[in-house]
């Protein structure tokens, strides 16, 4: 027996596994929902969705390809005429798996797999529509940055110019105490000079007044 693929192994051989999945897919398309084990539901999901994708094409080649898996012509006709048109606006996600708990007896995990029919599909915005808001946001970001830089540059210029203005406009004013002391010292020096001059003049007059014999 060849080595099975990765994942849950169904049946005793690959051919047996293909027959199990084909029968499950036939029952799913015929009844709309089936209850099976969780392992079989997970293996059935990609097979069933691939068959629905072929049925959405609607050509003869797709129909013959589906007939190689689902041999019941009545189920294939139902798949192409009823099921596939309902999924014309849906890009994948045609089935849903719901876990329902363990099975009595062997405690196997059970699940319900069903076709997602009659549910509205949220329309995806086109690529250009998605790109337009992104471009607008990208264009608005540099403008906001430029405005922020301009607003932040003005206070800096004011701060840089302020010290120079204060340096140029501030006059040098001496303190009151220092000015008074300088004036007092100058006045005292002038008075002393006047006194010295007066003493010198008095001595000169006394010398001139003395008679020659006394000398």
CA distance 113 to 46: 12
Q: Other CB atoms closer than 10 Å to residue 38's CB: what's the count?
A: 19
Asked if 69 and 61 touch (Cβ cutoff 8 Å), the reply is no
Helices (H), 68-172: 73-78, 84-86, 127-169
- Blockwise average pLDDT, block size 10, the chain, 215 residues: 64 88 95 94 94 94 95 94 91 93 93 87 64 70 62 52 52 52 66 75 69 50
Residue 117's pLDDT is: 83
Asked if 112 and 33 touch (Cβ cutoff 8 Å), the reply is yes
Residue 185's pLDDT is: 66
Asked if 66 and 73 touch (Cβ cutoff 8 Å), the reply is no
CA distance 90 to 59: 19
Residue 113's pLDDT is: 96
Residue 69's pLDDT is: 94
- Quick one: which H or E segment has residue 51? helix 38-57
Contacts of 89 (CB under 8 A, 6+ apart): 121
């Amino acid at each position: 027996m060849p080595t099975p693929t990765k994942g849950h192994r169904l049946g005793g051989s690959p051919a047996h596994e293909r027959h199990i999945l084909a029968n499950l897919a036939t029952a799913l398309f015929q009844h709309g929902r089936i209850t099976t084990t969780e392992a079989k539901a997970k293996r059935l999901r990609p097979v069933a969705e691939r068959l629905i994708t072929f049925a959405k094409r609607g050509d003869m080649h797709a129909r013959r390809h589906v007939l190689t898996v689902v041999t019941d012509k009545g189920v294939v006709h139902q798949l192409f005429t009823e099921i596939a048109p309902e999924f014309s606006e849906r890009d994948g996600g045609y089935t849903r798996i719901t876990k329902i708990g363990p099975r009595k007896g062997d405690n196997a995990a059970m699940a319900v797999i069903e076709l997602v029919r009659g549910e509205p599909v949220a329309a995806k915005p086109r690529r250009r529509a998605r790109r337009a808001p992104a471009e607008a946001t990208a264009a608005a970001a540099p403008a906001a940055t430029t405005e922020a830089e301009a607003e932040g540059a003005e206070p800096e210029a004011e701060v840089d110019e302020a010290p120079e203005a204060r340096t140029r406009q501030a006059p040098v004013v001496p303190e009151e105490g220092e000015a008074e002391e300088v004036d007092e010292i100058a006045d005292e020096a002038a008075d002393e000079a006047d006194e010295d001059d007066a003493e010198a003049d008095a001595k000169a007059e006394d010398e001139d007044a003395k008679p020659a014999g006394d000398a």
